[in-house]
Amino acid sequence: MIEQLSLTNIKAFRSADLRLAPITLLTGLNSSGKSTVLQSLALLRQSYESGTLLSTDGDSDSRGGFLLDGELVELGTGQDLLHEDFVRTEPDEPDPTITVEFRTDLGRTYSWSARYSPEDDVLPLTRAAFDTPLAELPLFSRHFQYLKADRIVPATTYPRSHHQAIGRGFLGARGEHTVNFLRHHQQDVVPDGPLRHPQARAHTLMDQVVAWMQKLCPGVNLAAEEIPGIDSVRLSYGFGGTAGLDSTRRRRPTNVGFGLTYALPVVVACLSAQPGSLILLENPEAHLHPQGQTWLAYLTVAAVAAGAQVIMETHSDHVLNGLRIAVKDGRLPASSTAVHFFRRHGQAAEIISPRMGEDGMLSDWPEGFFDEWENSLEQLLD
Ligand X SMILES: Nc1ncnc2c1ncn2[C@@H]1O[C@H](COP(=O)(O)OP(=O)(O)OP(=O)(O)O)[C@@H](O)[C@H]1O
Residues near ligand X, by CB under 6 A: 11-12, 30-36, 80, 82-84, 313, 342
- Nearest-CB residue to ligand X? 35
One DSSP character per residue, 288-336 reads --HHHHHHHHHHHHHHHHTT-EEEEE---HHHHHHHHHHHHTTSS-GGG
Total residues at interface with Mg ion (CB under 5 A): 2
- Look at residues 148, 146, 180, 138 and name the one whose alpha carbon lies nearest to residue 163: 180
- Chain positions 104 to 143 lying near Mg ion, rule: CB under 5 A, are none
Nearer to Mg ion, 72 or 326 (CB): 72
* Interface region with Mg ion, contact rule CB under 5 A, candidates 27-35, 124-132, 178-186, 216-224: 27-35
As a whole number of angstroms, the distance between CA 310 and CA 302 comes to 10
Which of Mg ion, ligand X, none does residue 30 bind (CB under 5 to 8 Å by kind)?
ligand X
Q: How far is 342 from 348, CA to CA, in rounded Å?
A: 10
C-beta closer to ligand X: residue 82 or 362: 82
Question: Looking at residue 163, what DSSP letter applies?
Answer: I
Sheet holding 144-147, edge to edge: 144-147, 278-282, 309-313, 23-28, 337-345, 348-352
Name which of 372 and 378 has its Cβ closer to ligand X. Answer: 372
- For residue 214, the partner it binds in ligand X, Mg ion, none, with Cβ less than 5 to 8 A by kind, is none
- The partner in contact with residue 11, picked from ligand X, Mg ion, none with C-beta cut-offs of 5 to 8 angstroms by kind, is ligand X
- Out of ligand X, Mg ion, none, what residue 32 binds, judged by CB under 5 to 8 A for its kind, is ligand X
Beta carbon of residue 359, minimum distance to ligand X (angstroms, whole number): 28
**Minimum CB distance to Mg ion smaller for 18 or for 302:** 18
Picked from ligand X, Mg ion, none, the partner binding residue 148 (CB below 5 to 8 A depending on kind) is none
- The answer to whether 103 and 109 have CB atoms below 8 angstroms apart is yes
d(CA 35, CA 94): 29
- Least Å from the CB of residue 198 to ligand X: 34
Nearer to ligand X, 93 or 246 (CB): 93
Interacting span for Mg ion (CB under 5 A) from 21-29, 32-40, 293-301, 358-366: 32-40
Please choose, out of 33-41, 220-228, 237-245, 318-326, the segment that lies near Mg ion by the rule CB under 5 A.
33-41
**Within a 10 A sphere around the Cβ of 342, how many other Cβ atoms?**
28
What 3-state DSSP class applies to 380?
helix
Q: Give every strand in the sheet of 97-104, ordered side by side.
A: 13-19, 2-10, 97-104, 109-115, 122-129, 65-67
| Residue nearer to ligand X on the CB measure, 32 or 104 | 32
Residue nearer to ligand X on the CB measure, 51 or 76: 76
In angstroms, the CA 279 to CA 2 distance is 12
Produce one character per residue of 140-164: b if its CB has 16 or more CB atoms within 10 Å, e if not: bbebbbbbbeebbebbeebbbbeeb
Tell me the closest approach of the beta carbon of residue 147 to ligand X, in angstroms. 13
Residue 121 CB, shortest distance to ligand X, in Å, is 14
Q: CA–CA distance from 339 to each of 182, 335, 336 (Å)?
A: 31, 11, 10
Of residues 150 and 231, the one with the C-beta less far from ligand X: 150
Decide whether 11 or 160 has the Cβ nearer to ligand X.
Answer: 11
The entry of Mg ion, ligand X, none near residue 31 (CB within 5 to 8 angstroms by kind) is ligand X
| Binding site partner of 284, from Mg ion, ligand X, none, Cβ cut-off 5-8 A by kind | none
Instruction: Give the strand order in the sheet containing 220-226.
Output: 158-159, 232-239, 220-226
Residues 35-64 that bind Mg ion (CB under 5 A): 35
Q: Return d(Cα 171, Cα 265) in angstroms, integer.
A: 7
Residue nearest to Mg ion (CB): 35
Q: Which segments of 76-131 are extended strands (E)?
A: 97-104, 109-115, 122-129
Binding interface with Mg ion (CB under 5 A): 34-35
